[in-house]
Amino acid sequence: MRLIDRYLLRQLLGPIVLAATALTGVALLSQSLGGLDLIVNQRQSALVFLKVTLLYMPQLINMVMPIAVFVGALVALNRLHTEQEIVVCFAGGMSRSRVIAPAMRLACTVAVLALVMNLYVQPLAFRTLRQELFNVRMDLASTLVREGEFTTPAPGLTVYAQSVDSGGNLENLFIHESKPDGSATTYTAATGEITRRAGRPVVVLRNATTQEFSSDGVLNYATFSEHTYDLTPLASVEDLISYKPSDRYLHELFFPDLQQDWERRNRLSLLAEGHSRIVTPLYNVAFMALALTAILGGGFSRMGYGRRIATVSAIAAVVRIAGFQAQSAAEDGAWLNLLQYLIPLAVIAASLRAVFRQRISRHIDMTCRPSRIVPVGAAA
């Protein structure tokens, strides 16, 4: 790569990285605010919250990268063109393809990295995320009891605890269980602990009493120094983790197991997701081409390119929305997946055509010429 190519690449890379970092930070902040429920209601540690938030990053990065490429390229190209550095490149004999080559190479590199993330990193991260959320849902200490509140974790079951610590230790515990035959049992305990015995989840009640009111009207009362309450019925949720389309690898999207009812019913949705994984990286190239069109697709102007930039920005927004609409439409017909490819490819072709159609200006505007010549030695 020649010196001028490396220079242009550096000028583009800095703003794009800065824009990607800023947009990812904003998206991550928005996602983390939604995940505060893990700490507030589920009483999970900050480490679990941080892990869940970071596992969303591959998808967030892929969503914001085309926008970051577009914004960063606009900033860099606008500065280069306004300061006539690109005009100097043309005046030095560089062709238009040579000038835009560093930008297109950078966009293609970002597209390849995005494709790798789409095909391998995102499914792996989302599977890990699904496992983490499954573990949170199976955390009986957080789902069974909320400190200072009466909760109903299952039909006919009411639970209260005055306080709960992070280790699952309960203070002043109250459990009321109503059975279908009309009988009811109430448990009270000074302390309790949610643990496992013989591989089964239980709550160990200490200094406990039980009051059982049978269906025939008999009240039975007993006290225990320690009593075990079985939580197995509450833990008997679906053992298998159900993976969403965003959690699946490409071969699972294109070749679902049609013997399973859910995959057979959602075959078109899985297919649309698979094609979207391949197409989405192309928007990095398309948005770079749009940025080149906004700056190089018209004549040079020392007053800036605000109108062209605004027009192309609106086009970029419409293009991305159209891409989402094409993916949604493809869930109703497999042949509509063709639209997912046509949209970014058409934008790339039209943008490059606009760039190469513009006549190259090899004139350097001398904006720093003196207004008058002062003879040497003349009085000030």
Are residues 71 and 205 part of one domain?
A: no
Q: Spell out the residues 6+ positions from residue 181 whose beta carbon is closer than 8 angstroms to its own.
A: 215
Angle separating helix axes 57-82 and 96-116, nearest 10 degrees: 170
Give the per-residue pLDDT at 299.
63
13 neighbors 106 (Cβ within 8 angstroms): yes
Are residues 254 and 121 part of one domain?
A: yes
185: in domain: yes
Are residues 161 and 96 part of one domain?
A: no
378: in domain: no
Which of 195, 211, 233 is the last residue in one of the domains?
Answer: 233
Q: Spell out the residues 6+ positions from residue 241 whose beta carbon is closer than 8 angstroms to its own.
A: 130, 131, 134
Are residues 81 and 170 part of one domain?
A: no
Are residues 324 and 224 part of one domain?
A: no
Which of 171, 205, 233 is the last residue in one of the domains?
Answer: 233
The structure tokens listed for 364 are: 């350097």
Per-residue pLDDT of the chain (380 residues; tens, 9 = 90+): 578 888 889 999 999 999 999 998 888 887 776 666 655 555 566 777 788 888 888 888 999 999 999 999 999 998 888 888 887 888 888 888 888 999 999 999 999 999 999 999 999 998 888 877 766 665 555 566 677 778 777 777 888 888 777 666 788 888 888 877 778 888 898 888 877 777 677 788 888 888 887 766 677 888 888 888 877 666 544 445 677 888 889 999 999 888 888 888 889 999 999 999 999 999 999 999 999 999 887 665 555 667 888 999 999 999 999 999 999 999 898 899 999 999 999 999 999 998 888 665 544 444 444 444 444 444 43
Q: Spell out the residues 6+ positions from residue 343 whose beta carbon is closer than 8 angstroms to its own.
A: 319, 322, 323, 326
Question: What is the C-alpha separation between 212 and 187, in angstroms, rounded?
Answer: 9
Are residues 113 and 152 part of one domain?
A: no
376: in domain: no
Question: What is the C-alpha separation between 157 and 165, in angstroms, rounded?
Answer: 22
175 neighbors 157 (Cβ within 8 angstroms): yes
Beta-carbon-side half-sphere exposure of residue 266 (alpha carbons within 13 Å): 17
Give the per-residue pLDDT at 258.
83
* Torsion angle of the four alpha carbons 343, 349, 355, 358, in this order, in degrees rounded to the nearest 10: -120
Give the per-residue pLDDT at 66.
95
Give the per-residue pLDDT at 117.
93
226 neighbors 205 (Cβ within 8 angstroms): yes
Number of domains observed in the structure of the chain: 2
74 neighbors 309 (Cβ within 8 angstroms): yes
Nearest to 111 by CA among 230, 281, 274, 348: 281
Give the per-residue pLDDT at 373.
41
Which of 212, 233, 254 is the last residue in one of the domains?
Answer: 233
Question: What is the C-alpha separation between 83 and 60, in angstroms, rounded?
Answer: 34
64 neighbors 20 (Cβ within 8 angstroms): yes
Question: What is the C-alpha separation between 57 and 34, in angstroms, rounded?
Answer: 14
343: in domain: yes
Are residues 107 and 15 part of one domain?
A: yes
Helical H segments across the chain, by residue range: 3-34, 37-40, 46-55, 57-82, 85-91, 96-116, 122-137, 140-144, 232-235, 250-254, 261-265, 267-279, 282-296, 306-330, 337-357
Per the document, the length of the chain is 380
372: in domain: no
**Phi, psi for residue 276 in degrees, rounded to 5:** -65, -35
34 neighbors 131 (Cβ within 8 angstroms): no
Domain ranges, residue 119: 3-137+242-357
Are residues 272 and 180 part of one domain?
A: no
Are residues 91 and 27 part of one domain?
A: yes
121: in domain: yes
Are residues 131 and 36 part of one domain?
A: yes
Are residues 246 and 127 part of one domain?
A: yes
Give the per-residue pLDDT at 91.
81
Q: Per-residue DSSP letters for 15-63?
A: HHHHHHHHHHHHHHHHHHHHTTHHHHTS---HHHHHHHHHHTHHHHHHH
Alpha-carbon distances, residue 184 vs 142, 214, 218, 228 (angstroms): 25, 7, 11, 17
373: in domain: no
- Alpha-carbon 377 to chain mean position: 69
Are residues 227 and 246 part of one domain?
A: no
363: in domain: no
